[in-house]
Amino acid sequence: MPKKDLANDEKTLDRLTHLGKKLVNQLNDNNEENLTIDTQVRSKSNVHYDEEEGRLSLGDSYSTRKFLNISHARKFMQTTLVANKAKELVESGRTASIREVYYQLKHSVPGLDENTFEDQDESNNVVVDIETATGAIREDLHLFAEPKGRLFGPITINDSGDSIDCMAMGTSGLAIPSIVDHYEFEQHSADFIMVVETSAMVNRLVEEDFHEDHNAILIGTGGQPARGARRLINIMHNRLDLPVYVFCDGDPWGYYIYSVLKSGSMSLAFQSDRLATPSARLIGMTMEDIDKYGLEHVTEDLKGKPKDSGGPTKDYKRIHDVMEYDWMQKDEWQAQFQKMLDKGVRVEQQALASQSLEFVANEYLPNKIENEELLD
Amino acid sequence: MPKKDLANDEKTLDRLTHLGKKLVNQLNDNNEENLTIDTQVRSKSNVHYDEEEGRLSLGDSYSTRKFLNISHARKFMQTTLVANKAKELVESGRTASIREVYYQLKHSVPGLDENTFEDQDESNNVVVDIETATGAIREDLHLFAEPKGRLFGPITINDSGDSIDCMAMGTSGLAIPSIVDHYEFEQHSADFIMVVETSAMVNRLVEEDFHEDHNAILIGTGGQPARGARRLINIMHNRLDLPVYVFCDGDPWGYYIYSVLKSGSMSLAFQSDRLATPSARLIGMTMEDIDKYGLEHVTEDLKGKPKDSGGPTKDYKRIHDVMEYDWMQKDEWQAQFQKMLDKGVRVEQQALASQSLEFVANEYLPNKIENEELLD
């Protein structure tokens, strides 16, 4: 495999070097009271919905870690270890899993009865510290996580020198890797990108030639999308200027997937600009679909207790939680959730099979697109 | 997508037709006391380890379901519905997810206040009934489940007319679909197949060009292997006559993955001949690796309580369970588990990164292969 050189490797090295130099300068400066590192506060209190940009972002709260404070000394050691390892990876054109980094750096400190790291949570947290302290995200640092998601459609992607025609991938599709920033889009004839919650629905659409007939790039996320899939949707939308439709189950979990794709997630609010696609719209399932397409007999009852009967718990609780997010306050979304509560049911995308297997590909989705029945 | 015609479609149709005709004959025969269907008993009591074949199989216990018995009438209706749907899928060259089948067949029975199916468990169970009653497995019936697993290596696979060079798939690899029986292996230059438990380890080996340098087909299962991956390993081994090495974590969960790949699983014992690969051997991690490669500081303590301290629970319980399986009675396996209990630790494959990132690809695996240090 050729060395993994990312477009912003140089910038990342600058950022890591800057962090290191700052620490060295502080160490050499007798006037400095403290050796410090500033990281953005990532808790909910510092997460804001930026209405203009249409996505979540972190506010201006920083926490300053004072490393000469004895309780922070361990974290200081860990931060420099991980930053150094990341620099090594970027320089050598290698990538590593966050678990490998943990194992690579775990050792006993010479002369002390103490390990550098006790478990992977410690090193994972330090990775996020370095992300917010330097502005370089995990993928920039050449660190990857478990990959998830598949892509089918009329586009040829160059990955590390291999030219991959995503229309000629049999029944498999392209497996979306954890890092996609190095992708080059060689050519395409797509009219839109459709993100699909379940693998089974992607299989259905491919078997019915939906991607071919409608010039669609289909991205199956296999449930909650991984970072790789979110980043891929973001760069495809930006570089190829294609609209993004989201097709998920009609329940609070599906709508939350939509919201994460569109506006970002709270835990990764500091990089919504790279992971979120604010112009994405929802194509289905909606609560109106139930009546319109006669799906009453294939809905599922919401689990848990409603608010006025000792709840809300389970599905009901999730609905109320998501309804209250700042970025879900549009009338059309409040109406969806209210209908869900009133009906007391959820509807899965695969429930459309009750009409016929090909119904979703030949009628449901084409009608929605033609009539622009899309929730924003 | 071209119609999915499998090699044994005709046989499957014969089997389904035979089942239907048998039921019709019984219905027309006034002398028949009962309308019956025989299915193999699939509980543990009827699972045997066939030492000669080296895999699990079902014994001769059959259960006879009498459909004119009122408590079985519902199941009779469900069985004919699902069998009919499967016949339709095979005839039309379509595939469907088991969830789609559930939704396709779920409706209220005319004239009765009763649904054909109440939840997917009901239809899933009927699918397995039909599998054992006809001898046609789920994939034969054109039914698929969630796909999982990736493949890299010097082999070109033809999937539904698409010729896929698995050495030119960038950082993704081939995503292994749920149904692989239609695969054609066009050409290859592989010396062996290596099955790898974690995706991160597959990434590591690919980044180090292990598959290229050693002519290896790498199959990442992402934990417990899905049916598609198990079937693929089975047909690759049989058709290409390549040895299979299994590389998993050194813990009871990893060794169970090995055992499932080699001998089959209890719940799918009726199709071990299609899913298991009895000649597969384990390349690592072994308990001896800990001392040999200085991994003492990167092992993890076993979770739970040992047998003599109020247990066994968690990891300890799992070790004792797997140790007792008929197919794990070889001395070399008993010794592995005993060492694990004595040391009280487990060791992950990614722990090898503590030496260096490239150690696993450049030293660990090549040494094992050269010295044939393989557990059978």
Q: How confident is the model at residue A29 (pLDDT cuts 50, 70, 90)?
A: confident
Residue A244 β-bridge partners: A193
Mean pLDDT of B317-344: 95
| pLDDT for residue B25 | 86
Closest residue of A to B158, CA-based?
A: A170
For residue B44, the model assigns a pLDDT of 82
Q: What was the pLDDT predicted at B33?
A: 66
Report helix, strand and coil shares of chain A as percent, to nearest 5. Answer: 45, 20, 35
Average pLDDT over residues B72-88: 91
B272-320: per-residue pLDDT in tens? 999 999 999 999 999 999 999 999 999 999 999 999 999 899 999 999 9
Which residues in chain B touch residue A357, judged by CB atoms under 8 angstroms apart? 94, 96, 100, 104
Q: Write the DSSP string, A113-125.
A: S-BS-SSHHHHHH
A83: helix, coil or strand? helix
- pLDDT tens figures, A308-344: 999 999 999 999 999 999 999 999 999 999 999 999 9
The verdict on a CB contact (< 8 Å) between A175 and B172 is: yes
Q: What is the pLDDT of residue B257?
A: 96
* Percentage above 90 pLDDT, chain B: 74
Q: Which residues of B touch A214 (CB under 8 A)?
A: none
Say what the pLDDT of residue A232 is.
Answer: 97
Partners of B181 on chain A (C-beta within 8 Å) are none
CA atoms within 13 Å, Cβ hemisphere of A256? 16
CA distance A328 to chain B (A): 30
pLDDT above 70 (res A34): no
**Using the beta-carbon criterion (under 8 Å), do A298 and B106 form an inter-chain contact?**
yes
Contact list, B100 vs chain A (CB under 8 Å):
200, 204, 350, 353, 357
pLDDT at residue A1 tops 90:
no
The confidence band for B270, taking pLDDT boundaries of 50, 70 and 90, is confident
Residue A33 has what pLDDT?
Answer: 66
Pick from B1, B108, B147: CB nearest A199: B147
How confident is the model over B26-74, as pLDDT tens digits?
888 776 666 778 888 888 889 999 999 999 998 888 888 777 777 788 8
Average pLDDT, chain B: 92
Contact A100 B4 (CB under 8 A): no
- Using a CB–CB cutoff of 8 Å, tell me whether A362 touches chain B: no
CB-based contact A233:A261 (threshold 8 Å): yes
CB distance A106–B357 less than 8 Å?
no
Catalytically annotated residues of A: 103
A117-131, A151-165, A179-193, A357-371: lowest mean pLDDT where? A117-131
pLDDT one-digit tens code per residue, B181-228: 999 999 999 999 999 999 899 999 999 999 999 999 999 999 999 999
pLDDT for A32 beyond 70: no
Indicate if the pLDDT at residue A35 is higher than 80: no
pLDDT at A320: 96
Region B9-144: CATH code: 1.10.10.10
Which residues in A lie closer than 8 A to residue B93 (C-beta atoms)?
Answer: none
Using the Cβ of A172 and the Cβ atoms of chain B, whether some distance falls under 8 Å is answered with yes
Q: What is the domain partition of chain B in residue ranges?
A: 9-144, 150-370
Query: Given a cut of 70, is residue B347 above it in pLDDT?
Result: yes
- The two most distant CA atoms of chain A are separated, in Å, by 76
User: A55 falls in which pLDDT band (50, 70, 90)?
Assistant: very high
Task: List, by residue number, the catalytic residues of B.
Answer: 103
- In A, minimum Cα distance to B117 occurs at A298
* Six token digits for residue A299: 């809905």
**CB-neighbour burial class of residue B363 (10 A; exposed 0-12, middle 13-18, buried 19+):** middle
Task: Please provide the average confidence, as pLDDT, over all residues in chain A.
Answer: 92
Tell me the pLDDT tens digit for each residue of B166-180.
999 999 999 999 999
**How many Å lie between the alpha carbon of B100 and the closest alpha carbon of chain A?**
6
Cβ contact, residue pair B207, A1, below 8 Å: yes
Q: What is the pLDDT of residues A74-107, one digit of tens each?
A: 888 999 999 999 999 999 999 999 989 999 999 8
d(CA A222, CA A246): 13
Residues paired with residue B347 on neighbouring β-strands, in sequence order = B250
Q: Is B123 on the interface with A (CB under 8 A)?
A: no
Mean pLDDT of B354-368: 96
Q: Running DSSP on this structure, what letter comes out for residue B251?
A: S
Q: Chain B residues with CB inside 8 Å of A142's CB?
A: none
pLDDT class of A270 with cuts at 50, 70, 90: confident
Residue holding tokens 């001949």? B273
- Contacting A residues, span 307-326, partner chain B, CB-CB under 8 Å: none
Q: Residue B368 has which token pair?
A: 């094992």
Tell me if chain A has a CB within 8 Å of the CB of B213.
Answer: no
User: Averaged over A66-71, what is the pLDDT?
Assistant: 74
Distances (CA, A) of A178 to A147, B15, B146, B233, B260: 5, 44, 20, 25, 28
Question: Are the beta carbons of B290 and B347 closer than 8 angstroms?
Answer: yes
pLDDT confidence tier of residue A110, bands split at 50, 70 and 90: confident
CB-CB under 8 Å, A170 with B172: no
**How far is B10 from A371, CA to CA, in rounded Å?**
43
- Tell me, which fold does domain A150-370 have in CATH? Dna Topoisomerase Vi A Subunit; Chain: A, domain 2 (3.40.1360)
- C-beta atoms of B150 and A200 within 8 A: no
B9-144 and B150-370 have identical folds? no
Name residues whose C-beta falls within 8 Å of residue B180's C-beta, 6 or more positions apart in sequence. Answer: B228, B231, B232, B235
Position B109 scores a pLDDT of 82
Rounded to an integer, the average pLDDT of B234-259 is 97
According to DSSP, the residues that pair with B367 across neighbouring strands are none
B119: closest chain A residue by CA? A300
- Give the residue on A whose Cα is nearest the Cα of B296: A107
